[in-house]
């Protein structure tokens, strides 16, 4: 029995457009995962992209982090909630993309990615409006940015997401994803399970040790609730 056809199919390189989409989405996931904890991250005093912020309960003295969080929630609690709601929507978008890609439904991949792109652009404009308001005070909500190690099929790409960390860089990343989507032909197969040892965990499992996008969103909400039920509640009661 001639199995050369099966071997040829198994060794066939996936479409470069599928690989590019897979790598590009990993960049968005990494940048947004880093960004989603902004409401609970305060300046560390260290001039470094990696160590420039710490969680509010890690400051020394801890009272500094508590004071910053109290001011944020007093002035911007509604904005913080809107910030997290937008991240929740994008987490769902990633899960929809992954679900479609894992069953090779290219039309659904394109549709779900287009929806994500729209939500991402709205989110970038939201952050831009916040940071452009002269009455805001502390600019604690940043644009998505950060290092990325992307893995897809036989390709490893170490390219930072929005390395400039600004509005123009965040918009540029959206344009790149839009171009990748336009390059995908309807007949091409998009299946993430073929591009990595396991499907990329955009959604992850909701636990405090989960470093996925969803996990870091859950962690941020947990830390905010912890603060509201702890030092802030005590200070408000004493006021």
Residue 3 domain flag: no
47 versus 190: which is more confidently predicted?
A: 190
Residue 7 domain flag: no
Exposure class string for 196-216: b at 16+ Cβ within 10 A, else e: eeebbbbbbeeeeebebbbbb
pTM assigned to the model: 0.85
Residue 76 domain flag: yes
User: What six digits make up the tokens of 128?
Assistant: 């831009």
The backbone torsions φ and ψ at residue 119, rounded to the nearest 5 degrees and listed phi first, read -65, -40
Residue 9 domain flag: no
Residue in 148, 182, 118 with CA at minimum distance from that of residue 25: 148
Residue 6 domain flag: no
Return the pLDDT at 204: 47
Q: What is the pLDDT of residues 52-108, one digit of tens each?
A: 789 999 888 889 999 999 999 999 999 999 999 999 999 999 999 999 988 888 999
Residue 5 domain flag: no
- Answer whether residue 194 shows pLDDT above 90: no
Q: What is the pLDDT of residues 1-43, one digit of tens each?
A: 444 444 444 457 788 888 899 999 999 999 999 999 999 999 8
Average pLDDT of the chain is 85
User: What six digits make up the tokens of 78?
Assistant: 């509604």
Please state the domain count of the chain: 1
Residue 88 domain flag: yes
Whether the Cβ atoms of residue 185 and residue 18 lie closer than 8 Å to each other: no
Residue 49: which domain range? 14-238
User: What six digits make up the tokens of 132?
Assistant: 């452009």
Neighbours of 226 (CB within 10 A): 14
- Answer whether residue 153 shows pLDDT above 90: no
Residues with Cβ within 8 Å of residue 141, at least 6 apart in sequence? 38, 39, 79, 83, 127, 130, 131
Give the whole-angstrom CA distance, residue 62 versus residue 56: 7
Residue 92 domain flag: yes
């Amino acid at each position: 029995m001639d199995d050369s056809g099966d071997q040829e199919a198994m060794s066939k390189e996936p479409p470069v457009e599928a690989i590019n989409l897979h790598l590009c989405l990993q960049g968005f996931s990494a940048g947004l995962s880093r960004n989603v904890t902004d409401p609970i991250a305060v300046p560390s005093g260290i001039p470094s992209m990696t160590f420039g912020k710490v969680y509010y309960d890690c400051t020394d003295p801890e009272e500094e982090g508590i004071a910053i969080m109290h001011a944020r929630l007093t002035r911007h609690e509604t904005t913080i909630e809107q910030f997290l709601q937008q991240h929740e929507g994008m987490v769902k978008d990633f899960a929809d993309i992954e679900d479609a890609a894992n069953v090779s439904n290219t039309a659904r991949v394109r549709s779900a990615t287009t929806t994500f792109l729209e939500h991402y652009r709205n989110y970038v404009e939201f952050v831009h409006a916040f940071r452009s308001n002269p009455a805001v005070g502390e600019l604690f909500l940043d644009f998505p940015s950060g290092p990325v190690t992307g893995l897809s099929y036989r390709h490893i790409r170490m390219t930072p997401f929005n390395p400039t960390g600004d509005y123009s860089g965040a918009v540029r990343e959206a344009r790149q994803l839009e171009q990748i989507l336009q390059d995908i032909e309807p007949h091409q197969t998009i299946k993430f399970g073929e591009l990595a040892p396991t499907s990329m965990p955009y959604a992850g499992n909701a636990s405090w040790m989960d470093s996925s996008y969803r996990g870091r969103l859950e962690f941020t909400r947990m830390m905010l609730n912890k603060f509201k039920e702890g030092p802030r509640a005590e200070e408000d009661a004493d006021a």
